[in-house]
Amino acid sequence: KAGVTQTPRYLIKTRGQQVTLSCSPISGHRSVSWYQQTPGQGLQFLFEYFSETQRNKGNFPGRFSGRQFSNSRSEMNVSTLELGDSALYLCASSLAGRTTYGYTFGSGTRLTVV
Partner 1 sequence: QQQVKQSPQSLIVQKGGISIINCAYENTAFDYFPWYQQFPGKGPALLIAIRPDVSEKKEGRFTISFNKSAKQFSLHIMDSQPGDSATYFCAASTEGAQKLVFGQGTRLTINP
Torsion of CA 73, 104, 8, 114, to 10 degrees: 120
Establish if 60 lies at the interface with partner 1 (CB under 8 A). no
Establish if 2 lies at the interface with partner 1 (CB under 8 A). no
Establish if 25 lies at the interface with partner 1 (CB under 8 A). no
- Tell me the residue ranges of DSSP E strands in 1-114: 5-7, 10-13, 19-24, 31-38, 42-50, 53-57, 64-68, 74-78, 87-94, 104-105, 109-113
**What x/- string results for residues 61 through 90 when contact with partner 1 is judged by CB under 8 A?**
-----------------------------x
Binding site for partner 1 (CB under 8 A): 4, 31, 33, 42-45, 48, 50, 55-56, 58, 90, 92, 97-100, 103-108
